Structure formats: C-alpha cells, structure tokens
Amino acid sequence: MLSLPTILNKNQLGKDDIECVIQQIDIESANSIYQRCSDEFGFRAIEIDNQVFSTATELAIPLGYSSNKAISNILNRYNVETFGISCFHQIDESIRETFRLSSKDSQTKLISYKGFLFLSLTGRGLYCNKVREYLLAMEQKARTDTVIYDSIGIDTATLQDIGDDIDDPIINTTLQSIQNSHGIIKLRQRQLVTEKRVNALESNQSKVDEQLPITDEQEHQLNKKRDELIALKVQNGDNRQNAYRKFYNNIKNRFRIGVYKGMKKTTFPLAMDWINNCIESEKVKLNQLELC
C-alpha cells in the first residue's frame, strides 16, 4: 500500500488512490478535516452522530464543480453512498434549517466524509489543494506522534501539557519510569510476535508432517511385525496364505489404505500398536494350546 504523501502528491488520483487514502486515515481525523474545511471555506455542514455531513449545493463551488449534477455524477461513478434527509428523521428540522431547505425538499442528499474526500481529491477547485495539504499535515503529525510515543511511551499532547514543568524532578522521574516500562512492553511485544511466528511455523510443519508418507525404515518395521504375527498365527493353526490375506484386509479396513501405500507418518504408531496387540493375542492363544 502506497503512503499518503506518495498518493497525495500525484497530479491525478484514481478511485484506488482515494480509497487507499480513506483506509489510511481514521474516521475522527477525516471528519475533523471536513469540519475544518467547512469553517474555513464557508460551506455549511452539520454533525450527526459524530459524523460531518454537507450537501452538493454547499460543496459545488468551493470544490470546483459546475453543478449539483456534476457532483452526483462523481459520487455515482465511484459508488459513494449518500444519505437522504429521511435517514435522520429525528433531526429533520435541524438539517433543513442548517442547509436552508424547504419542508417539501425530498431530493437533497447528505454527503459524508467519504464523499467529501472523493470530491476534494478529484476536484479542481481552489480549495482542493488545501484539503490535500490538511491530509499531508495530518499524516506528518501522526508519524511524528508515533515516533515520539514509540521512543518514550508518551503522546505529544501529554508532553505539550507538561510543558516547562518537565524539568521538575518528580515529573522527570515519573516520565523516566514510564519510558522504562514502555521499553519493557515493546520488548515483550516483539518477543510475542516472534513466538507467534515460531508457533505458526511449527503448526504448519506439523500439518506438512501429517501428510508425509512413512519412511522405508518404518515400512521395514511394519513388515517385521507382520511376519512375527503371521508366524504366530500359523503356529496357532491358521493357513499362512489366509493369514496374510486377512492381515492385509484388516490393515486396509482399519487404516483406509492398501498394504502400506498411502500410510501417513502419523498413522504409523497406530498401526504398530494394532499389530503388537494382535501379536500378544496370538501369543496368549499359543500358550493356551501348549497348556492343553
């Protein structure tokens, strides 16, 4: 994903560019810019449920659009949702009063911060560049805040509030303690990331191992146990050929494989346990015959 400065410094932005901008800024910041532009550019706006809205009539001139229709075309082209006044029936009068709308107006749509950003970043009005400047300044401040917080564990607003009192011994010691704790937390977080990666690798390796076939050595061990079992069955009176046939049928039915073809490594210990149990059973039979 391209950074905000890279996108915003392009001469022309496409839909993907603008959507990338929207993804990278939080709703609170976007609405803050929307409200700030309303105050500075002189278009009317209203805040509803912590979101800022305006209308095509208000935005057309500041953002360089020839008509409300031109704005509608842009929003429709990029599938940007707008909102009818009826969506906010509980404050219908406040909306109409803010935008000087008649009580019969049912066509006007409210435009959220997403629509505002699409219109600003594709428009040619005098104020469109100003919107880009606000976005760039916001991104720069966010990066600065991140660097400061990552370094000392305190946001810039807190540091500004402390101001000259930062030299006070008690405040300074407290800040140092916060910084040390923040360092420990960051170190532990890095350790947790490493542990998660290792666990993921081990889990993936385990899944791979489950699909691996048995080795030649494991097949040799199975054959030795098979021969031991068949020899005991013969001693107990079974026909050798029938004993082999029953053995392979049981292997196939129990472990869903033909002979050992397709046997997975994870199945090997189960097969060995089964054959060993069969061997012990035949030994018991043989002992009983000898006693007779």
Q: For 237, left (φ over 0), alpha (ψ -120 to 50), or beta?
A: left
- List per-residue pLDDT tens for the chain, 292 residues long: 667 677 777 777 777 887 887 777 778 778 888 888 888 888 999 999 888 999 999 998 888 888 999 999 999 988 999 999 888 888 889 999 999 999 888 899 999 999 998 888 887 777 888 888 877 777 666 666 656 666 666 666 676 677 777 778 887 777 777 777 766 667 677 777 777 776 776 676 666 666 677 788 888 888 888 888 889 888 888 898 888 888 888 877 777 655 555 677 778 888 888 888 888 888 887 777 666 5
Question: Between the CA of residue 54 and those of 101, 158, 270, what are the distances in Å?
Answer: 12, 33, 70
| Beta-strand runs (E) in the chain | 46-48, 51-55, 83-84, 109-111
Give the CA dihedral 245, 246, 247, 251, nearest 10 degrees.
110
| Edge-to-edge strand ranges of the sheet holding 109-111 | 46-48, 51-55, 109-111, 83-84
CB atoms within 10 A of CB 128: 17
Give pLDDT, residue 100.
Answer: 93
Give pLDDT, residue 13.
Answer: 76
Q: How many residues are recorded in the chain?
A: 292
Give pLDDT, residue 258.
Answer: 53
Q: At what angle do helices 113-122 and 15-24 cross, to 10 degrees?
A: 130
Exposure class string for 199-223: b at 16+ Cβ within 10 A, else e: eeeeeeeeeeeeeeebeeebbebbe
Please tell me the distance from the alpha carbon of residue 54 to that of residue 111, in angstroms, as a whole number. Answer: 5
Give pLDDT, residue 123.
Answer: 79
CB atoms within 10 A of CB 96: 16
Give pLDDT, residue 45.
Answer: 94
Give pLDDT, residue 159.
Answer: 65
Cα–Cα–Cα angle for 64, 70, 76, nearest 5°? 125
Exposure class string for 146-166: b at 16+ Cβ within 10 A, else e: eeeeeebbeeeeeeeebeeee
Please tell me the distance from the alpha carbon of residue 41 to that of residue 133, in angstroms, as a whole number. Answer: 14
